Amino acid sequence: MKKEFSCDHIGLFTNNADRLINFYKKILKFKLISSERLQANVVKALFKIKSTACFYRLKSEDLLLEIFVPHSKKKTGKSIVRYGIHHFGMIVKNREEYIKNLRQKKVKIITLKRNGHKVYFIEDPDGNLIEIREAK
């Protein structure tokens, strides 16, 4: 059977970055590779809260962890601020073709512009987000 995709990262949402980062670094030997501040429009699109957020990337072997920490917990609409796994990233061979096929199947696509490029997410029936990335 031909493999269509693989998982390359997991997004975690927390209210205590130091605790979480220290656990992954000290216990599981991940390395912190980057950190940045996410703009409010990106945070609202991803988490449905009105806030900026800190965004950390940790890596171990082939797995990347993305840790998000909101600066505020003010929710938008009916959203619920929840901590834990927020999304996972799927790698596909041709992202644009994959997205096109999903649109034909009437799957809702969340498109964000970040750092000059498009980021695509889809939502499963339980509301879990899946980021669609292209293999490099």
Q: What digits encode the pLDDT tens for the residues 96-115?
A: 998 998 899 888 899 988 88
* Residue among 60, 13, 14 nearest 33 (CA): 60
| Selection from 65-69, 73-77, 83-87 with the highest mean pLDDT | 65-69
Asked if residue 120 has pLDDT above 70, the reply is yes
16-64 pLDDT, tens digit each:
889 889 888 888 788 999 999 999 998 888 888 888 999 999 998 778 8
**What order do you get walking across the sheet with 109-114 strand by strand?**
31-38, 53-60, 63-70, 5-13, 84-92, 129-134, 117-123, 109-114
Q: Quick one: average pLDDT of 72-78? A: 63
Asked if residue 78 has pLDDT above 70, the reply is no
